[in-house]
Chain A
Amino acid sequence: MKNFAMIGIMFATLVLALGYALGDQWVLASIVTGLGFLWLAGVWHNWDWATSIGLVAFIGLAALGVRLELSAVWMLFGVVASLAAWDLVRFWRRVAHTKLSGQEPSLQHPHFQRLLMVSGLGLLLGGAALSLQINLNFGWAVLLGLLMTISLSWVVGSIRRGGE
């Protein structure tokens, strides 16, 4: 299971670094590679904090890529790959915590199915959002902004309720 997590991180690093390299941002591409190695080292040494930091850093770098007007498609792939890598690391941790290698196959299959479905849908919707261009006037923008804020507040609220 650990191998899947490592491959996930390597793939996310590769996608994001390639996105930067294709935009001739070699310095940033090497930074991505460095961060990828750090994330791998974190997984190898079981550093808990490295998992979340890795995800935030990679999504931050994807956002920076968009800001630098690099290919948004590569950045979207980078986000999806980072998310998948983050998920795999967490899944490996949960399985490793039980120290029961025999139980993995029964959980691996449905987990991978769910992850594949979510990643595919995310990629599809993200790709659609990139290809669609809608001109919104100020009123629509405010309305959508409000809707987004309310929905996110609801999400955070439900998360907090779940925590209690």
Chain B
Amino acid sequence: MKNNLLLALIIYGLIILGLDSRNGEFLALAIPVMVYLAAGLLYEPQSPRLKIDRSFSAGRVIPGQAVTVTLSVTNQGPTLEEAYLVDTVPPSLKVLRGKTNLLTTLHPDQTITLEYTVEGKRGLYRFLNVSVITRDYLGLFEKRAILSAPNQFMVLPEIVRVKQVAIRPPQTGVYSGLIPARQGGPGIEFFGVREYQPGDPLRWINERASARYQQTLFVNEFEQERVVDVGLILDARRQSDARCGQESLFEYSIQAAATLADTFLDGGNRVGLFIYGRSLNWIFSGYGKVQRERIIRALAQAQQGDGKVFERLEHLPTRLFPVRSQLVLISPLLSEDSDMLIKLRARGYRLLVISPDPVAFERKGLAQSAAINLASQIARVERKMLLTRLREAEIQVVDWPVDTPFYQIARAALSRLPFRR
């Protein structure tokens, strides 16, 4: 029951008793309660007129880095005797220091600051509202309001440094880059020998070859290095994910995707990102820092989905990717995915699959028992068969046991050019 209603009922009760017994002493007992209620009415709070500004110590942080949230509240109305402010913190954030609520008196034009520190996992964190309850000192009457104080910060996915990811798609771009283009011209790596043409630099002349023929000069040709189109496909299907306690394999996929996007963009390549699993989440191909920002933002917000349409890779919209370009799929892989990947390879795409190992990841969270060991062995054999099938179709597959840092795997498996056909 509301406090003020309770007091009103007590007053009523005492007055009725006084009238019934015609005893004024009952009425005298009601007087302190009346005074108390009257004081509440007299100082009844008005609707709060507050200006709230929210700021963060950083708008973009890496996982594990704390962010200090500062709420600056200015009272633009009359005195608020008792103001109770509660900031609505996104549930997945952990408050490390400070409090998200405040009980205070706010005088006109007074500004108070509420500060607390939070930490969160990868994601975009939107802060929207602050709840305000104002009361008189006696707490009899209150006004509630929800005030808007929007702002957001982002916990970016972890990016590890990888020097080079060697890829060799059949189709290259027109601009010079770092990817061998299978075409002779200016470059570093020896490509072949051809007859001298006017305009060729003299230092290109191959003296040994030229010495064998009279009146004919031969020059060395180098392999041109160009930029390429890279389509990153991140598997966000819930059914392909594996969990071990609070940990999800998807977070490793995100880390790999962010690292690869960063590395490819650093090499001047045109990179697009398709997040497959929840909706058609496609970041159009682009170059440079702006594109890097777009991709990192998309990865920071990436969530898993379990849409029927995206259950299998069959519905991968391949038209988004230029023909004969390089595709990089980051996925733990499901057994039925191999058919679509082989089809993609057959259409001329160069495919690189980074596959965080779900068997090893899930196994470490399970108890030791004969049945689990057997199931684990079967799963391992199945996965080995799947990867072998993909490799036989000339798909470059990197099996990544996530206990090993990605940069180590990348250095071992991706620093050299794959088999050339």
| CB of B381 closer than 8 Å to a CB of A | no
Query: In whole Å, how far is B31's beta carbon from the nearest beta carbon of chain A?
Result: 4
Q: Mark A105-123, 1 if CB is under 8 A from B, else 0.
A: 0110011001101110111
Residue B82, interface by CB 8 Å: yes
Docked-complex contact B35 and A59, CB < 8 angstroms: no
Q: Is A38 an interface residue (CB 8 A)?
A: no
Instruction: Determine if A7 is an interface residue (Cβ-Cβ < 8 Å).
Output: no
CB distance from B128 to the nearest CB of A (A): 21
The reply on B29 being an interface residue by CB < 8 A is yes
CA distance A94 to B15 in the complex (A): 31
B138 and A56 contacting across the interface, CB-CB below 8 Å: no
- Which residue of B35, B44, B81 contacts A118 across the interface (Cβ within 8 Å)? B35
Query: B71: shortest Cβ distance to chain A, in Å?
Result: 14
* CA A157 to CA B37, docked complex, whole Å: 13
Q: From known contacts A66-B25, A126-B28, infer whether A52 and B1 are also in contact, taking CB-CB under 8 Å.
A: yes
* A123 in contact with B6 (CB, 8 Å): no
Number of residues from B at the complex interface, CB < 8 A: 50
Q: List 18 A-B contacts (CB under 8 A).
A: A59-B10, A63-B17, A66-B25, A72-B28, A80-B32, A87-B138, A94-B139, A97-B103, A114-B137, A122-B34, A126-B28, A129-B31, A130-B25, A152-B8, A155-B41, A162-B4, A162-B44, A162-B143
B105→A66 contact, CB < 8 A: no
A150 at the interface (CB under 8 A from B): no
Interface, chain B (partner A; CB < 8 A): 1-6, 8, 10-15, 17, 19, 21, 23-29, 31-37, 39, 41, 43-44, 81-82, 84, 99, 101-105, 135, 137-139, 141-143
Please report A residues at the B interface, Cβ cutoff 8 Å: 52, 55-56, 59, 62-63, 66-67, 72, 75-76, 79-80, 83, 87, 90-91, 94-95, 97-100, 103, 106-107, 110-111, 114-115, 117-119, 121-123, 125-127, 129-130, 133, 141, 145, 148, 152, 155-156, 158-159, 162-163
Contact between chains at B14 and A63 (CB < 8 Å):
yes
State whether B8 touches A156 (Cβ < 8 A). Answer: yes
Contacts of B19 in A (CB 8 A): 141, 145
**When A107-B103, A118-B36, A159-B5 are in contact, do A98 and B31 touch as well, CB less than 8 Å?**
no
Provide the bound-state CA to CA distance between A61 and B327, in Å.
83
**Residues of B contacting A67 with CB < 8 Å?**
17, 21, 23
Residue of B nearest to A162 (CB): B141
Q: Is the CB of B138 within 8 A of A114?
A: yes
Asked whether, in the complex, the Cβ of B103 is within 8 Å of the Cβ of A158, the reply is: no
| B26 contacts A63, C-beta separation under 8 Å | yes
Q: Is the CB of B99 within 8 A of A100?
A: yes
CB distance from A2 to the nearest CB of B (A): 15
Asked if A79 contacts B37 (CB within 8 A), the reply is no
A118 surroundings in chain B (CB, below 8 A): 32, 35-36, 39, 138
**A100–B103 touching, CB < 8 Å:** yes
Q: Is the beta-carbon distance between B6 and A59 smaller than 8 angstroms?
A: no
A55 to B29, CA, bound (A): 13
A107 vs B1: C-alpha distance in the bound complex, in angstroms?
25
Closest chain B CB from A149 CB (angstroms): 9
Q: Note all chain B residues with C-beta closer than 8 A to A100.
A: 99, 101-103
**When the two chains form their complex, are residues A79 and B23 in contact, meaning their CB atoms are under 8 A apart?**
no
Q: Is the CB of A90 within 8 A of B139?
A: yes
Q: Considering the complex of A and B, which 9 residue pairs feature the smallest CB-CB distances, nearest first?
A: A122-B32, A129-B28, A122-B35, A126-B31, A114-B137, A72-B25, A98-B103, A159-B4, A130-B28
* Given A94-B139, A122-B31, residue A129 in contact with residue B36 (CB < 8 A): no
| B137 x A110 contact (CB < 8 A) | yes
Residues of chain A with a CB closer than 8 A to B4's CB: 159, 162
A1 → B minimal CB distance (Å): 11
Question: Does A98 lie within 8 Å of B141, measured CB to CB?
Answer: no
Apart from A76-B28, A107-B104, what 5 extra A-B contacts exist at CB < 8 Å?
A: A83-B32, A94-B135, A98-B101, A107-B103, A122-B36
Tell whether, in the assembled complex, residue A59 and residue B29 are in contact, meaning their CB atoms are under 8 Å apart. yes
B29 touches A79 (CB 8 A): yes
Name the CB-closest residue of A to B32: A122
- Determine the chain B residues whose CB is within 8 A of the CB of A52 once the complex forms: 1, 3, 6
**Which residues does chain B contribute within 8 Å of A94, judged by CB atoms?**
82, 84, 103, 135, 139
Contact of A76 among B10, B29, B142, B143 (CB under 8 A): B29
B23 touches A66 (CB 8 A): yes
Set A56, A87, A106, A115: member contacting B105, Cβ < 8 A: A106
Q: Are A62 and B29 in contact (CB under 8 A)?
A: yes
Separation in Å of the A46 CB from the closest CB of chain B?
A: 17
The residue in B6, B34, B35 that gathers the most chain A C-beta atoms within 10 A of its C-beta is B35
Out of B44, B99, B104, which one reaches A106, CB within 8 Å? B104
Contacts of B82 in A (CB 8 A): 94, 107
**A90, A98, A115, A127 — most chain B CB neighbours (10 Å):** A98
A125 to B37 alpha-carbon distance, docked (Å): 14
